[in-house]
A and B are shown apart, each in its own frame.
Chain A
């Protein structure tokens, strides 16, 4: 059964990684504006003339 113990610890670590990723993205401001990114992705990127 000791394999279960290892698996438990591993699974907690993995999900902990996702939690950290989420907190990071919040801190980065990704959740501040939930409307503009949805629109932004639809704009065609014209070839840069510069």
Chain B
């Protein structure tokens, strides 16, 4: 803030206040939406919301229309949303993507002050969900939703969430497993102390017997409950003829267990059950760390979550909200401002300006005339429309994309580097074990032979590799998460590090969807000319005219006569005795030769070209720098569904070696990626934002979706990055590469412990005490090393500044 007197920011959302017309006392607002929210909160004495955090709200530039949630009165839809109901109360859970700070939490849990019918509400912060219990006699589902919407938290209601309501429960089995393993491990350790420190024959045989019985009993739940996932995963790997890292782990666990049982029951020793349960405990914690960061984000949303739940169907002059799956061909439907059209339909009434940027990548809205078709996925910008349904949701143009086999085929199991290392590790260990066994057998020492074989296998379990992989990836995912970069699973870190070709989408990915840059070149415009041009522009609703008019920003306008608009070409008319034409170069006439292609509006007054407005895309912050640094390391391509008006700028940005393609359909994008993979054997990363990229994202080795803050839709992808963090992408990739080195380094360090263990094991003299010392030492070394190294690397790559801020405010 340079000067507090001139720059005012909205009391609600912190956006810049354009003029001071919207204000209450000394509090200024950027729009009426924000003001309304403030008024509601003020009325109900909920202004603590503004005390907890400064300017905690999100911009409320749209005000919901009155009947927007009428469909929630429909009993069928209501039933699908409410998950429990008795005579007195109903329970419902909403997904509120707006939740971002402690103010949100406070407000949503005090929402009963706004609506008396709400009994309690509870926020689940990481999931961005609110669980509401309400009295359905005092209020209704619709009113609850309207209350939420009124205070700026519009619930995300969609078909998808409805159909998978039951699946939203958290999986708690991992907690149970960790708890059980931890309990058994610590108790077995304690029981074993007697044995570690015992001088021979000082322990009472009765006590010794009891101790060993307890140890065996405690080890059973560890092996047969907590460690089951290692056996299951190993078995699945074997079934698919694939040796994964869990196989040697499972093998080592089984051998340790059997050997220990044998020792205990034959009375020859006390077994290694303490080490076994310890390693299971540490491995489970590693897996939990890995999983916790991404479990709450949905990566598999398809077009359905993008669509509304219900549509207004007009029948015999009556409007009935109808569930979207029940909308049939030839139904007459209504679409309001800022709503998505979920079906292919023909326009029958209204002024349609459709924003297809999300489905096709076109950056400018499209004007549709009555009788023309509007495709599913378009968004109406302003005003009410009436449409006749041509194709239902399940058959529309957009849905067809999802019938591509890419979306249905099962993902092949990809071997990770660690699996391969684990495999060789196993071979070496088996060779060593049997080598030692043969040696002792040759010398006639059969007991020592068995000792050597089994203990070598026990010591050499690649648990260390698994541990370093899990702990490193866990922390990397956490750091990525703090940077608003979310990966679907830990395997994606490895894929990220292997990328060698990056494909970018244009609209919405490297450019912003809202807003464009307008520039004027040519003769200096006099005041009169500015007025004339603005007056004519004001007549047209074409997006280019609107942008140019906004650029001139003239308040006083003159009368226009003989106004004529030629669709997609330009406009023409007489203002203040001047003949003026505005439009594309083709519209103005032959004498004009543009230097550079681009979207432009040529100004032609009284038979002379005066100048031109050049409209170009607004690039996201930091994109230029990002592309320049990526260009040096990777081959780049850009594929866009938009027209090629931006070609020149893009080519300047990407350089000559990169391929740039425009007017690509979603199908073509998908094929482009698969061709790169097949013909050129590339590891492709696709960065896109919209539904038109969905196929390409899926086909690529690593698909990253770019989302704007507050936007709740992301196509199916392997990772999600917030638009404001896109500029850091290069640092993220480099960090992933470093991460891999960290895993290998830690593994090498911890292998020292294995070598010490092997030294004893090969001689057949590995005692339980040595194992019990080596195991925790190795595990703790790994945990400390991986944590320290990943944190250090994050700092080196400059992606650590967000730490210690669990509740970061946007921007």
Which residues of A are interface residues toward B (Cβ below 8 A)? 1-2, 4-5, 8, 11-12, 15-16, 18-19, 22-23, 26-27, 29, 31-36, 38-40, 42-44, 46
B107 nearest CB across to chain A (Å): 11
Are B183 and A15 interface neighbours, CB within 8 A?
A: yes
Are A23 and B179 interface neighbours, CB within 8 A?
A: yes
Are A1 and B807 interface neighbours, CB within 8 A?
A: no
Which residues of B are interface residues toward A (Cβ below 8 A)? 48, 52, 102, 105-106, 109, 123-127, 170, 172, 175-176, 179-180, 183, 186-187, 190-191, 204, 206-207, 210-211, 214, 806-807
Are A5 and B179 interface neighbours, CB within 8 A?
A: no
Q: Assuming A1-B204, A15-B187, A36-B123, is B211 touching A8 (CB within 8 A)? A: yes
User: In the bound complex, how far is the Cα of B179 from the Cα of A44, in angstroms?
Assistant: 34
Residues on the A chain within 8 Å of B210, using CB: 5, 8
Identify the closest chain B residue to A2 (Cβ).
B206
Residues on the B chain within 8 Å of A19, using CB: 179-180, 183
Residues on the A chain within 8 Å of B807, using CB: 35, 39
Are B183 and A36 interface neighbours, CB within 8 A?
A: no
Residues on the A chain within 8 Å of B806, using CB: 35, 38
User: In the bound complex, how far is the Cα of B61 from the Cα of A49, in angstroms?
Assistant: 34
Q: Assuming A22-B179, A42-B102, is B170 touching A32 (CB within 8 A)? A: yes
Identify the closest chain B residue to A26 (Cβ).
B175
B290 nearest CB across to chain A (Å): 16
Residues on the B chain within 8 Å of A12, using CB: 187, 214
Contact with A40, one of B109, B127, B170, B183 (Cβ below 8 angstroms)? B109
B167 nearest CB across to chain A (Å): 15
Are A36 and B105 interface neighbours, CB within 8 A?
A: yes
Are A4 and B207 interface neighbours, CB within 8 A?
A: yes
Q: Assuming A15-B183, A40-B105, A42-B102, is B176 touching A26 (CB within 8 A)? A: yes
Residues on the A chain within 8 Å of B126, using CB: 33-35
B807 nearest CB across to chain A (Å): 7
* 4 closest A-B pairs by CB: A36-B125, A35-B125, A1-B204, A19-B183
Are B176 and A5 interface neighbours, CB within 8 A?
A: no
Residues on the A chain within 8 Å of B109, using CB: 40
User: In the bound complex, how far is the Cα of B214 from the Cα of A5, in angstroms?
Assistant: 11
Residues on the A chain within 8 Å of B127, using CB: 33
Residues on the B chain within 8 Å of A33, using CB: 124-127
Identify the closest chain B residue to A40 (Cβ).
B105
User: In the bound complex, how far is the Cα of B733 from the Cα of A12, in angstroms?
Assistant: 49
Residues on the A chain within 8 Å of B187, using CB: 12, 15
Residues on the A chain within 8 Å of B190, using CB: 11
Residues on the A chain within 8 Å of B179, using CB: 19, 22-23, 26
Q: Residue among B127, B183, B190 with the most chain A CB within 10 A?
A: B183
Identify the closest chain A residue to B292 (Cβ).
A34
Residues on the A chain within 8 Å of B124, using CB: 32-33, 36
Residues on the B chain within 8 Å of A5, using CB: 206-207, 210
Residues on the B chain within 8 Å of A34, using CB: 126
